[in-house]
Structure 1
Amino acid sequence: MLRNGIHHSNEISLAECMEDNNGGLLYRGALYVLEDNDLWLRLLKEHHDKLSAGHPGRAKTLELLNREYYWPQIRRYVDQYVRNCNVCTRSKAPRNAPYGVLHPMPIPDGPWMDVSMNFVTDLPESDEHNAILVVVDRLTKMRHLIPMTKEADSREVARLYIDNVWKLHGLLNTIVSDRGTQFVAEF
């Protein structure tokens, strides 16, 4: 570029370029690498995959490469490579809290004492209803399917429960929802 008398580039500022002793183009002191995916991959493997490199993360790999080389979009290329590195993915320490131990729910003492409630929403509208409240007895697996609207609030759900389940089966002990919340009624 510099030898040919070109004075502008869309990718880099030629004012920050100079020619090295071997005829290569230096950009901000780093060797400018032309667009060649095979060469980029080889350089990236040398700075990330070698045993001496030890699979550093994105920031460290980018720093190691930037010490000697430059090409447009180098950061995006390094991010994508490290994100897809199988060794890094397997050895990465989990950042989430440890999962809790699952405990089976106790077997109910009798029918309609412990129920689960779930909502089926976004159904095609029928008689002004677009959702279903599903109430299942945990012991017998009997169920009530109650038509409702998706916009129903907690008062409406309680009214639907009283009108359709409580009047037939009486007071219950627990309700488990699809959100994992358990409500205990103590009377």
Structure 2
Amino acid sequence: MKASAPKPKWSDVSAMSSTTKSYWAQWDSLLIQDGVLCRKWENGRGDSCHLQMVVPKAKVPDVLQLYHSGCSGGHLGVKRTLLKIPERFYWVHCRDDVEEWCRKCKSCAAVKGPQIRSRGALKLYTHNVGALWERIAIDVAGPFRESESGNKYFMVVMDYFTKWPEVFAIPNQEASTVADKLVHEVFCRFGVPLEIHSDQGRKFESQIFQETCRVMGTHKTRTTSYHPQSDEMVERFNQTLERYLAKVVEKRQRD
């Protein structure tokens, strides 16, 4: 290809490996750009095309480390890892390599483990939601090991319509801290919702938080006593959040 030679004949590659044959079959989609072998890739609809870097076999572990085990990878599963890699890279047998890498990932194996049977079925808050950011759920997860920046908790805010989560690290779960973060980091960016749903934690039942909701014109609802499962959406997200935190936290658990 560097010599601008025509496509080799089948007789020239028939005795070679399956990888070579695969690239031979895709000859018309391959090109060299800035000295790098690339592949033209179109989406399923055929209305978009971009170049993928063809990865040498020796560099495949570097790509998998970046897209699965790295901080931006988040130790996501096979399906989501395969969704990200084609944006930039391509190599033959990509799916097989991703599946093997995820199966052998020690961090994933250590954290996932056997599923513990839940004590009660989680139930979704069933009031109708007709628009985004009309009704949100809020919860605080923790305490965790104190980080280098002095935070011990996570405040989780989720929209019932889109299921979009926002997560904020906070040093404590005092009502003033939660209310301040909610106003300055959530309301100022997304607007004030019509309703906020939470459990009956003291930080959400305090006069400070209730007054914040009154001033903002937001209706406050809460789960029934000893039944946090009625706030299923945010409780389930907390499980996901904690599972991925366990995969990316450093050994000293401070970062």
Q: Which has the larger radius of gyration?
A: 1
TM-score tier after normalising by the smaller chain length: 0.3 to 0.5
TM-score by length of 2: 0.34
Higher relative contact order (CA 8 A, sep 6+): 2
TM-score by length of 1: 0.45
Q: Judging by fraction of residues, say which structure has more helix.
A: 2
